[in-house]
Structure 1
Amino acid sequence: MPETPATRPGLAIFLLLSMVVLGVFPLDVVLPSFPALADYFQRTPGDIALSISLFAIGISLSQLLIGPLSDRIGRKSLLLAGMALSIVGAAGCVLSTDYGGFLLFRCLQAVGCGCFVLSQALIQDLFTGKQRDHLRILMVTASGLAISLSPLAGTVLQDAFDWPGSFWVFIALGLTVWVIAWRHLRDNPARNPSSHSLLRAYALVCRNPTFISYWLISAIAFACHFSFIVMSPLLFLEQLHLSSYTFSLILLVYGAAYVGGGVLAHGLSKRISANRQIIAGLLLIVLAGGLMGLLHRHAGLTVFNVLLPMMVCTMGITIARPIATSRAMDVFPDLAGTASSAGSALIFICGGVVSAWVNLSPASLPVTLATTFMALGLIALGLILATCRRLREQRPA
């Protein structure tokens, strides 16, 4: 089993945060290199975009297998194998001379990156109580900052090293983290190595309404962030006609909301209950939707009218999502890998469906985002209130 925080807290936190960063690199940092990739492989930008879609499919399928397997055979071996596979895939992408080979190695990288779903299971193994909550707040904050910094980082790497730059950085980071995990992470024996098959384990966790409710709340919060990130190039580059550099700076300002939200979430976790913290965060998401709608109606589309509501929304996301994830993971401590994979699948599905709806809606983007945030926030509030009532009814008299 990995060493406890009492013995090596710094390495444990560094490993988990590194997994967050490595999870962002293959998807977001490569986006500014689309034109260069299209030119290098003599394909259309749409063909290069296909590699992102295949990557998302590959990582999703891989996660569904890795989580339950880690409950049966332990975390370390799967983490090391997955990271090694992702490194080989990234190296293959750099060395590919044709588009077919690039797609093949991109899929291989995606399958390996599925191991990063184990970050939630490792938190469950390594930490307890408030430590878990605080670390999950830190990870959500780090994830938001990494995503916000990605366009600027991708642009810098593209200018300095052409399209292979992001892949070489991924390889270097991956090798560093692999060595740290290999040297300092001891594998944990599976707690119940033969008690549940893969399908039975998923059936067990997915039948629990409390588990599903908390993960859906986390997924809804993520979907609000994801839909904005996906649509932000359309808002700022196409409709407001900003430069790529200005767009990158705007996302840096947006990322500051993750820091503020993380600080606020940390403070709230010491003063109010988990469920009240979730409610507070969700109310901010609803407020952000209303604010965006009002600003757009009275002042039109401007950077301020989009950025201010999104910063409010992001603070709500950072307050609600980590604690909802912690409460979900606490339901099945002996099946942390399966629980982590099931929750990750919900997050991918919710993020994809919501962003597709926002993209296909006939209404203007600010109006669609505003109504989506309000609707999702209210749905999540209904879920948490129903969960609170169910938990009260389950308590012994």
Structure 2
Amino acid sequence: MPDFGEPETAGRRTRAADILLLVVLGALMAFASISTDTYLPAFPVIAADFGVTEGRIQLTISSYLIGFSLGQLVWGPISDRVGRRGPIIWGLGLFMAVSIGCALSDSAEALILWRLMQALGASAGPVLARAMVRDLYARERAAEMLSTLMLIMAVAPLIGPIVGGQILLVGSWRAIFWCLTAVGALSVAGVILIDETLPDDRRGGGRLAGVWKSYGRVLADRRLIVYAASGGFYYGGAFAYIAGTPFAYIDYYKVPAAAYGLLFAVNVIGLMAANFANARMVARLGSDRILRFGAAVAALSGVTLAIDAWLGLGGLWGLTIPLFFYFSASGLIVANSVAGALAAFPREAGAASAVLGAVHYGAGIFSATLLGWISDGTPWPMGVVIGAGGVLSLVASLMMRKA
């Protein structure tokens, strides 16, 4: 398969331009984490402020994931026709405006609605960053580049909860959303500085009604569906982790809100190490083989977590240790599943990326909502959802050989 874009652009891009591109794309891919992880330590505070249950505040994640999934389905195919940079800037503008709405929310219901709209804007970042990688690189190289980008984007979940916890020490939870508004402005400035990656001769053209035809061609590819399913089931468990750990750690095991960020950061370090290893090994071992291994790690650690949470084995450590391995497996699963799915769609990378994102975050919607429904004040429901996500991700990855 030809390495679309790389031969003709590599010579024209300076090293400084390459570094800037990596930093900006990494920031764009991190927008889901930036928008969620930073306010995780504030969950109990927000619940108390509005006088609602923990399950009600967890719905702010569910609504965000709904908006994130739907938004990607819009931004992806639009960018296949008009280019990448414009839609990203439009999306970030919406993100900034709505982040102000989140900061001014006067009820849980208002925050849930604002988070839905915030996600519609934020979703432009990751879906188009993935498409831009596909514009420039073919499969194995794309997997390597995605792993490198995830090393950069891992800074967000690494420092997000820590920053959020520190903000709570000096201000209210509303200050977190004012900070997110500023992050959006900085990201717009970065996008303005980078070049467009989709040349005119590779744009779909025609009316936007052709979006449905693009989705039809993408959804007809069985391999894409299998890759999307493997990543989607994993994401289902990952978002149960995001929605469940603030209450499991802070409420159930009485971990201070500021220390919660440190526990979160340990898992992100594991994710970064896995992404680093993947970037080094993918050309030699192949992305599919590494993906299956990562899914096996997620399945084993997820089942272990479920058992520990059910029986109360190991206390807090019975949660944190298997969660470390589950979260780290993302570095072996996500980049390889995305690269494999996008490999066959050089001209419809936006639409294919949108399908991937919708499946991934759609699974997150289901798991976060399910967790809110079955929450009983213990870590057990979180453990069950994460364990199921890991096992199903492994099953889907094994189906790739038949696709």
TM-score strictly above 0.5: yes
Q: Is 1:214 the equivalent of 2:223?
A: no
Q: Which whole-Å CA distance do the structure 2 matches of 1:371 and 1:272 have between them?
A: 32
2:26 partner letter: L
Counterpart residue type for residue 25 of structure 2: L
> Is the contact made by 2:75 and 2:124 (CA closer than 8 Å) also made in structure 1?
yes
Question: Which residue matches 1:314?
Answer: 327
Equivalent of 2:305 in 286, 292, 296: 292
SS at match of 1:353: helix
2:206 is matched with 194
Structure 2 equivalent of residue 134 of structure 1: 144
Flag the 1:282–1:247 CA change in 2: closer, same or farther, 3 A.
same
* 2:363 alignment partner AA: C
Shift in CA distance, 92/316, structure 1 to aligned 2, threshold 3 Å: closer
Kindly indicate whether structure 1 or structure 2 has the higher relative contact order, using CA contacts under 8 Å at least 6 residues apart.
Answer: 2
Partners of 1:321 and 1:91 lie apart in 2 by 31
Q: Distance in 1 between matches of 2:111 and 2:319?
A: 37
- Contact map agreement 1:89 1:107 (CA 8 A) in 2: no
Letter in 1 for 2:358: A
How far the C-alpha of 1:202 sits from its partner, in A, is 1.6
- The residue type paired with residue 251 of structure 1 is F
Q: Which runs of 5+ in 2 are unaligned?
A: none
TM-score, normalising length: structure 1? 0.83
Paired residue for 2:76?
Answer: 67
Secondary structure class of the residue paired with 2:261 = helix
Contact 2:218 2:352 survives alignment (8 Å): yes
Once the two structures are superposed, residues 83-127 of structure 1 have per-residue CA deviations (whole angstroms, 9 ceiling, x without a partner) of: 122223334555x58669877765553332231121111111133
Instruction: Kindly indicate whether the alpha-carbon contact (under 8 Å) linking 1:361 and 1:368 is maintained by their aligned counterparts in 2.
Output: yes
Partner of 2:350: 337
Q: Distance in 2 between matches of 1:158 and 1:126?
A: 41
Deviations 1:131-179 (A, max 9, x none): 3112212344455552353222112123334344323332333222212
Residue of 240, 243, 248 corresponding to 1:230: 243
Over aligned residues, Cα RMSD in angstroms?
Answer: 3.4
Over residues 31-57 of structure 1, what are the superposed CA-to-partner deviations in whole Å (9 max), with x where a residue is unaligned?
Answer: 444677689xx8445677665554443
Paired with 2:366 and 2:101, the residues of 1 have a C-alpha distance of: 31
Amino acid at match of 1:224: G
Kindly name which structure, 1 or 2, has the bigger radius of gyration based on alpha carbons.
Answer: 1
Q: Distance in 1 between matches of 2:372 and 2:314?
A: 17
Match of 2:29 in 1: 20
Tell me if the contact between 1:225 and 1:314 (Cα under 8 Å) persists in the aligned partners: yes
Q: CA deviation at 1:325?
A: 1.0
Q: How many residues align?
A: 387
What is the SS of the residue equivalent to 1:271?
A: helix
Q: Are positions 1:110 and 2:119 aligned together?
A: yes
Kept in 2: contact 1:63–1:115 (CA 8 A): yes
One-letter code of the match for 2:77?
P
Structure-1 separation of matches of 2:260 and 2:36: 18
Q: How does 1:1-397 map to 2 (within 5 A)?
A: 4=9, 6=11, 7=13, 8-33=17-42, 43-45=50-52, 52-91=61-100, 93-94=102-103, 96=104, 108-116=117-125, 117-186=127-196, 188=198, 189=200, 190-194=202-206, 197-292=210-305, 300-358=313-371, 360=373, 372-373=385-386, 375-390=388-403
Unpaired runs of 5+ in structure 1?
A: 391-397
Deviates more, 1:337-346 or 1:196-205: 196-205
2:80–2:204 Cα contact (<8 Å) kept? yes
CA contact (8 A) 2:30 2:154 kept: no
Q: TM-score, normalised by structure 2?
A: 0.82
Whole-Å Cα distance in 2 between the matches of residues 368 and 105 of structure 1? 27
Deviations 1:338-396 (A, max 9, x none): 11111111111212223444555589966655555554444333333332233xxxxxx
